[in-house]
Amino acid sequence: MGKNVLLADDDQLLASLLNFRLKKGGYTVHHSVNGKEVKEYLENTMPDIIVSDIMMPYFSGIELIDYVRNELKSNTPIIIISSAGNEQNVLTAFELGANDFITKPVSPTELLVRIAREIDK
Amino acid sequence: MSISKTKNLLGQLSQLERTVSEFSFEELNAAEAKELKSSFDIFRSSLERHIYTPKSDLIFSKKKEVCATENQEISEKQFITHVSHEIRTPLNSIIGYANLLKEEKLTRGQHKKVDAIQFASNTLLKLINEVLEYSKLSSGNNNFETVDFNLHSLLKDVMFLCETLILDRKIELLIDIDENVPKIIKGDPSKLSQILLNLLGNSVKFVHQGFIKLEVFTKEQVNNECLIEFSVADTGIGISKEKIKTIFKGYTQAEDDTSKKYGGTGLGLTITKEIIDKLNGEIEIDSTIDCGTTVMFRMPYAIGNATTAPRKSSKQNTKKKNSGLLAGTEILVFEDNIMNQHLIVEQLTKWGCEVHVDVDLDKGLYLLSSRKIDLILMDLKMPNQNGFEVSKAIRDHKNSKVNSVPIIAFSADFTEQDSKECQEIGINDFLLKPYTLDDLMSTIVKHKKLNSEHTDFASILQKPMIELKETTVVNLNNLLKDCFGEIDMLNELLKLFKLNAIEFIGNVKVHLKTENLKEIALSAHKLKAGFAMIKADGMRKLIVEIENSCKTNQPEKVKELYEIFLNDYPLLEENLNIELDKMNKK
């Protein structure tokens, strides 16, 4: 069984491409488009890794890190996707316990390498 | 009369329909084919609506039958004018798309079928024009011009047109203009050409071998007035004495089977006689069966003034090889019929023009001031907007860059009143729909502004940040690699991309009204990834600019940039489709 990836991104286009690449890479992907769905999913399942955009309806990527680390008390690796040029986001994300950070435009190949690195740790 | 005409029209129509349905659209798989078909459907339903709807002009309903004959005639004429006008527009699309289809790579069989569609629709068009002309003439609606014109060059043009009709037959075309015929005369040149073309066209139809001869001489001249006699003699099948008596009455072609064998509406001579009568001329026919026919007509003209006669502009060679003439020309089209929009954009794009289609005056004015538009094409009779008014607003604009752009008007119906109004407003030229591609091109070439001293877009926005052309560039190579070369995945992604772009356009439109810049910034932000994926760097920069202008609270700038996006995005999508097509074919 492939490792489970939770992909949280409301950008259908980018998500479709990443979804495609992750599946090709042997992962099982669950894709959510907003914070609410993410929360519901995480209440029942803990994936092997979470990949999330910072900007999301209802529940930002930053809030997601906080929720996973502090409420669910989980150490599941989290990779945050965000636009370039927002240093504060990077700092906050790492402070709250994000494992890695990748800036847009996202190279799917790069993301896969980073995911593999986190899971294999 | 109109009932028999309508039957005839319906006959032509089903002929056209047969041809269209024989055409294998699946096989062709071209967007034009679909458009052609839908054009046709619209055309048909519009015609049917007029014929069968009891609420329409009512000439077929029982009530009207009891009306006085006079009234009935008037309503018939109105009906004919109305219907003819309405079906000319979709017919224009049929002819246009058939022309475009012919430029595709077709098999020989397909080519033949497109030829058949063209032939049928052109026949139908001729028929409609004749019906329209006849109804105008008989309702006294027809106004005649009185202008100075060069009779000799008119005759030369008419003969040239006839030559093209008889290219491959054993018929000699002769012309003899007497020395006493004045060069410049005063009268209606278009009506004279129409008469001559009718008569010569008849001869071409009925002559199988021998000659057709046009003779012109001055029969009388008193001071400034002259009576010019024209005669068209041919060695055709001839007309019997009895038939000559009725030949000028509508719908009486000499033999009942004449129209079957030779085609035509049977209105040509009726129209010719009506015109000659109205111009105080006279017409006579002399004919011997199997020997030939001579038609003579005499028309009074005043001797004209050479200095006021317009010089004939040299004919533009508009063959395909010269289409480079228009490359890079930026044209703004005001047209709100979707079908015609597609058609004209497609054609102009093929010629290398950059085309903006607009229906909104404000947007048009914005484009005119921000881009370097070389020429405006204006549909005069848009359903929701008056082309005259739009043209006037452009001419009255205070910016000389806006008000000096040449305007070419087009319309399916062009009255003298329209022509006057065009002149008053400052419209430079006009095209009658349906126009041929050559007409379109030569008119554009004639008028396009060669000296483009416009300021460019960058200076309008003060801060140059985007190279214009850049905004339409895309490159799918990387994305295809990211898809591991899987074309289906690429197709799917691009479908999503286009949806996002459309959503963005809608979102921004909504939020611009309330100047909700925060929402627009968010929308723009979301769109960036997509443009990055397809390596549309220019457009991505534009989006970033929109996002930044929102953040710095500059609604006016956001609006300007959004307009540019609206303009350029279709071009980008077109490039995208071209790229995708290439990849799909590989």
Confirm whether A57 is domain-assigned: yes
Query: Which residues of A are less than 8 Å from B500 in CB distance?
Result: 12-13
Q: Which positions ≥6 away from B409 have C-beta within 8 Å?
A: B378, B379, B380, B387, B391, B422, B427, B429, B430, B431
Contact A24 B496 (CB under 8 A): no
Average pLDDT over residues B155-184: 79
CATH code where residue B527 lies: 1.20.120
The answer to the question of residue B10 being in a domain is yes
Q: Under 8 Å CB-to-CB from B25, ≥6 apart: which residues?
A: B33, B34, B37
Contact flag A104-B497 (C-beta cutoff 8 Å)? no
> What is the structure's pLDDT at B351?
80
Phi, psi of B106 (to 5 degrees): -110, 155
| CATH at B426 | 3.40.50.2300
Q: Is residue A117 part of a domain?
A: no
Query: B333 is written with which tokens?
Result: 């089209």
Distance from CA of A83 to the nearest CA of B (A): 9
Query: What domain range includes position B89?
Result: 2-138
**Which CATH number does the domain housing residue B100 bear?**
1.20.120.230
In a domain, A112, yes or no: no
Of B48-52, B211-215, B519-523, B537-541, which gets the smallest average pLDDT? B48-52
Contact A20 B500 (CB under 8 A): no
pLDDT at B24 exceeding the cut of 60: no
Instruction: Kindly give, in sequence order, each residue whose CB lies less than 8 Å from that of residue B314, ignoring residues fewer than 6 positions away.
Output: none
Among all residues of chain A, which has the CA nearest to that of B526? A11
- Lowest-confidence pick of B48-52, B126-130, B185-189, B250-254: B250-254
Does residue B504 sit at the A interface (CB-CB below 8 Å)? no
Residue B96, domain member (yes or no): yes
When divided into structural domains, chain A yields a total of 1
Host domain of residue A54: 7-106
By DSSP bridging, strand A4-8 and strand A49-53 are parallel
The pLDDT score that the predictor gives to residue B178 is 92
B349, B491: one domain: no
**Residue B6: count of CB within 10 angstroms of its CB:** 21
Q: Is residue B39 part of a domain?
A: yes
Tell me if A121 is assigned to some domain: no
- pLDDT at residue B250, rounded to an integer: 58
Which residue of B489, B500, B530 is in closest CB contact with A20?
A: B489
Whether residue B166 sits in one domain with residue B116: no
Residues of chain B contacting residue A12, judged by C-beta atoms under 8 Å apart: 496, 500
pLDDT of residue B319: 37
Residue A114 lies inside a defined structural domain of this protein: no
Q: Please report residues of B whose CB lies closer than 8 A to that of A13.
A: 493, 496-497, 500, 529-530, 533
Q: B469 pLDDT exceeds 60? A: no
- Give me the pLDDT at residue B546, please: 94
- Please give the Cα distance from B407 to B409 (Å, whole number): 6
Q: Do B172 and B214 reside in the same domain of the chain? A: yes
Q: Test B500 with A83 for CB contact under 8 angstroms.
A: no
Q: Specify whether B335 is located in the same domain as B429.
A: yes
> Of residues B70 and A23, which shows the higher confidence score?
A23
Given a contact cutoff of 8 angstroms between Cβ atoms, the answer to whether A56 and A11 are in contact is: no
- Assess if residue A68 is contained within a domain: yes
Q: Contact A13/B482, CB-based, under 8 Å? A: no
Which band of pLDDT confidence, cut at 50, 70 and 90, is reported for residue B431?
Answer: confident
| Residues of B whose CB is below 8 A from A105 | 528-529, 532-533
In 3D space, the residue among B273, B272, B261 whose CA is nearest the CA of residue B236 turns out to be B261
Does some domain include residue B308? Answer: no
CB-CB contact of B397 with B354 (8 Å): no
Residue B467 pLDDT exceeds 70: no
The encoded tokens of residue B208 equal 């199988």
Q: Which residues of B touch A10 (CB under 8 A)?
A: 526
Summarize the confidence of residues B118-141 as an average pLDDT: 70
- For residues B112 and B209, membership in a common domain is answered with no
Last residue of a domain, one of B389, B412, B447: B447
Nearest to B529 among A20, A105, A109 (CB): A105
User: Is B578 within the bounds of a domain?
Assistant: yes
- Which pLDDT tens digit goes with each residue over B376-429? 999 887 766 788 889 999 998 888 888 889 999 887 766 777 778 888 888 888
Residue B124's nearest CA partner among B16, B36, B28 is B16
Read off the pLDDT of each residue in B182-188 and give the average, rounded to a whole number: 89
Tally of structural domains, chain B: 4
Is B533–A17 a contact, with Cβ atoms under 8 angstroms apart?
yes
CATH number at residue B267: 3.30.565.10
Question: What pTM was computed for the model?
Answer: 0.37
The domain boundary, picked from B237, B271, B303, lies at B303
Rounded to the nearest 10°, the torsion over CA A43, A44, A46, A50 is -60
**Do B108 and B176 share a domain, yes or no?**
no
In chain A, which residue's Cα lies nearest the Cα of B480? A17
% of chain B at pLDDT higher than 70: 70
Give which of B131, B15, B39, B144 is closest to B79, Cα–Cα. Answer: B131
Residue B454 lies in a domain: no
Residue A115 within a domain: no
What lies within 8 Å, CB to CB, of B86 at 6+ separation is B46, B50
Q: What is the CATH number of the domain that holds A85?
A: 3.40.50.2300
Residue B251 lies in a domain: yes
A12 close contact with B: CB closer than 8 A = yes
Predicted pLDDT at B23? 56
Domain for residue A19, yes or no?
yes
B residues 189-218 closer than 8 Å to A (CB): none
Picking from B110, B138, B166, the residue at the C-terminal end of a domain is B138
ipTM > 0.85 (yes/no): no
